[in-house]
Structure 1
């Protein structure tokens, strides 16, 4: 089945956030404060290009002359979520039997998590990148730790699905270890408008066992049905900045450089290279299956009393330290990472209607 934010629902009962917004209330009145949607509160708009492959992300080792090139790209809307786990699969594949320095191509979340895992294994790292983290897709991602928009139903194999599950398991573990202000990771109660239920007994149950459908009197949203669960959210600008700091403090080096094709990589002095170029892999390695999917965000001024998240037909709302994120576009094949006024207006309008419809 296609996994999206409306099928991947749930949270970790053992690790549920204490003190998060509750769902108990007197009938007819909500304890959740509505988000104030007003153009005067809009502080910025952003857009990013998700590197999407219908057949799922790539973790593969290729020979490049006398070098090894390990690919780690194509995660669609699940790049943050799967970053640690996919990078763990990639480093396990590349580091076996290796000695000497390692090159990382790309400084998005996959590049930085790969670099940290390589360093933790005891190898020196150099990152080659055409853009620094503030300009990468990862830095403008919403940051919900829940896989979304990263493959198409019927286009993946059982072998790939096992790879995905292994990546998800390690990422889930690693993000829990990093929760806190330093990396900008926190648990939030999340409400999802549910279009269809997850398959019974699926891997989803392992991560979100406390997910439950709410009765109408248990939530204020003017939609139904709604599921409640707890999951983690990543304040991506802070997370990316801290990862880069960690890499540099551990002795990693950084070089600004753009590669046009695989032949350019062959001239590097390192004998082990990790391709973590995201959407750039389409041109770099000629992967025609990789397409951009544009996601646009409107960011409102922070509203500290909003301590929950929502996703549904109206789009999604995540509160972060740097503002309230409103999103909802999944624009297939759009290569321009520029916000469009029409899309931003629709995002604002759909959320305005949602929160205006709050029951008390």
Structure 2
């Protein structure tokens, strides 16, 4: 039996148990122990230069990240005779916190189900799929209703980096979220460890490099390039990643004088979403393609309890005007398997995803409260050209340290 079969078999075993599983028992009670220090390569022969050329671009994707000043909406609402459990509004932390957030949502759904063993989930992004899988593990029969399925859901355009604090809430709401955020982050991080090493590498650890023109020891935390009126976001302690390692000038191949090595989790979103879909269907889940334009349309569904995981779509479906769209754009290049490191420079970000190198322009001025989800190809080509110019300055001979 291979690891994936074991993982799937465990899921099916949980789903078929006669006693519903208590999700409170699954929560990680204490913070995950921090891994050891990162050990990034310092010999440039171990780092292959990125082939950044406009002809290698395979796609440009834009989407709206659903930010709420007050943080995600994970709560129960009565809609006629239905119980709606909301699970949306995670800003840029949706993929990272999906398991923990869905654990809290399913816990509410179980409390509201009054012994009923069916559940409907609206939406098939990361929050919808993880909600559905956890509900199956708790013994419920689940049907997902969605307008689109992966790979066509907007969240497939995300970067895929472990980012549990990204636009989670405005700073003044941070203290009220501390306990629940820690539970979400711990539960999610623990769950991702179970997917490491699976075929297709849906989740893996990667090394990367943050670059600077000034020493990190004298670095003042830079003010993000933002729009006027955009709020400061709450910061939580991210105790899950190894310590970063400073690399002095001359010890690395990059044209920037200073580099700092980091290690993080990365989601290869295409195989990861496929894994979630496969496990859900293998455990007996159903999917129905259906679009809802008004919340009252949900009253026609057979399930009495529903989890709403529609992300930015909840703004219209539930008239939630607290949702602020934050435009994001990612650029995908042809896969380059020999590039297995990430880069974070002042103006761009690169991730070595299995479905192709992913690039992002870090200047997001004009993105806050911007619902335009049309790709900007001129910006994409400018970003690729900027990366190409940077790569041209990399040293190509092994360095003596």
Question: TM-score, length-normalised on structure 2?
Answer: 0.78
Larger Rg: 2
2:210 touches 2:344 (CA, 8 Å); kept in 1? yes
* 1:171 is aligned to 2:188: yes
- The unaligned stretches of length 5 or more in structure 1 are 1-10
Does 2:247 match 1:191?
no
Q: Secondary structure at the match of 1:298?
A: strand
Is the 1:302–1:323 Cα contact (8 Å) retained in structure 2? yes
**Number of the residue aligned with 1:273:** 306
Q: Is the 8 A contact 2:83 2:112 kept in 1?
A: no
Q: Counterpart of 1:100?
A: 117
Deviations 1:83-111 (A, max 9, x none): 11111111122212632200000001110
Structure 2: unaligned runs, 5 residues or longer? 1-32, 213-218, 223-234, 397-401
- Distance in 1, matches of 2:303 and 2:338, equals 50
Q: Please show how residues 218-237 of structure 1 align to structure 2 within 5 Å.
A: 218-223=251-256, 225-237=258-270
**In the aligned structure 2, how far is the partner of 1:15 from the partner of 1:104?**
40
Does the residue aligned with 2:52 lie in a helix, a strand or coil? coil
Deviates more, 1:110-119 or 1:259-268: 259-268
Aligned position for 1:54: 69
1:265-307 C-alpha deviation (Å, 9 max, x unpaired): 2232211110100110101111112122222222111111111
The answer to whether 1:145 aligns with 2:162 is yes
Q: Indicate if the aligned counterparts of 2:66 and 2:89 stay in contact, CA closer than 8 A.
A: yes
Q: Which residue of 2 aligns with 1:306?
A: 339
Distance 1:223 1:77, change over 3 A: farther
1:203-225 deviation digits (Å, cap 9, x = unpaired)? 22x21242233322333333365
Cα separation, 1, equivalents of 2:69 and 2:196: 31
Q: Structure 2: how far apart are the matches of 1:238 and 1:23?
A: 27
Structure 1 contact 314–351 (Cα < 8 Å) conserved: no
Q: Does the 8 A contact of 1:22 with 1:31 survive in 2?
A: no
1:36-47 matched pairs, under 5 angstroms: 36-47=51-62
State the partner residue of 2:35: 13
Residue of structure 1 equivalent to 2:5: none
Change beyond 3 A, Cα 1:193–1:83:
farther
Give the Cα–Cα distance (whole angstroms) in 1 for the partners of residues 175 and 311 of structure 2. Answer: 23
The answer to whether the 8 Å contact 1:314/1:354 transfers is no
Q: Secondary structure at the match of 2:387?
A: helix
When the two structures are superposed, what TM-score results if normalisation uses the length of structure 1? 0.86
Alignment partner for residue 355 of structure 2, among 305, 314, 322? 322
- The corresponding residue for 1:180 is 197
- The count of corresponding residues between Structure 1 and Structure 2 is 340
Asked if structure 1 preserves the Cα contact closer than 8 Å seen for 2:293 and 2:316, the reply is yes
Contact 2:75 2:85 in 1 (8 A): yes
Which residue of the partner structure matches residue 237 of structure 2?
203
Deviation at 1:261, TM superposition (A): 2.3
- Give me the whole-angstrom Cα distance separating, in 2, the residues matched to 1:283 and 1:233: 31
Matched residue, 1:8: none
Question: Residue 78 of structure 1 aligns with which residue?
Answer: 93
Using a 3 Å threshold, how does the CA distance of structure 1 residues 209 and 130 change in structure 2: closer, same or farther? Answer: same
Q: Is the 8 A contact 1:12 1:231 kept in 2?
A: no
Query: 1:265–1:87: structure 2 CA closer, same or farther, 3 Å change rule?
Result: same
